[in-house]
Amino acid sequence: MDQKIPKVKIVIKSPSSSLELEAKRGIGFQGVCAKHETAIEFNCRAGDCGICCIKILSGEANLSKPTAIEADFLKAMRADPDERLACQTRVFGDVCVEADYL
């Protein structure tokens, strides 16, 4: 069975780069970054360290809702409403994010 999974457009910006790519709807940023060299860094991959924090520039409604672990971490860090942990986030529509912005 060859079901076509819709594609989404993901733009990942940083102070020194901008990458635009297509990926399967529902992919996590970890999966995206495993296939492409991006400015997003990962360490714990479990919502504990915060190194993967990204700023959502557009398409916030196209992302998965924060997991309980992510919501707790972002609250503890007093993160801005447009900040997410890439390791906990899946993409269901077009988005533009910024990494390495701190």
- Beta strand 53-58 with 83-85 is antiparallel
Q: How far is the CB of 33 from ligand FES (least distance, A)?
A: 10
SS3 state of residue 79: coil
Nearest-approach distance from CB 29 to ligand FES, in angstroms: 9
Q: How far is CA 98 from CA 4, 5, 14, 22, in A?
A: 29, 25, 5, 16
Site stretch for ligand FES (CB under 6 A), options 1-9, 13-21, 43-51, 58-66: 43-51
Cβ-based nearer residue to ligand FES, 52 or 56: 52
Interface positions, 72-101, toward ligand FES (CB under 6 A)? 85, 87
CA distance 78 to 73: 9
Binding-site member from 42, 93, 94, 100 for ligand FES (CB under 6 A): 42
By CB under 6 A, residue 52 contacts ligand FES: yes
Cβ count near 8 (within 10 Å) = 20
Q: Which residues in this chain contact ligand FES in the complex, by CB under 6 A? A: 42-45, 47-52, 85, 87
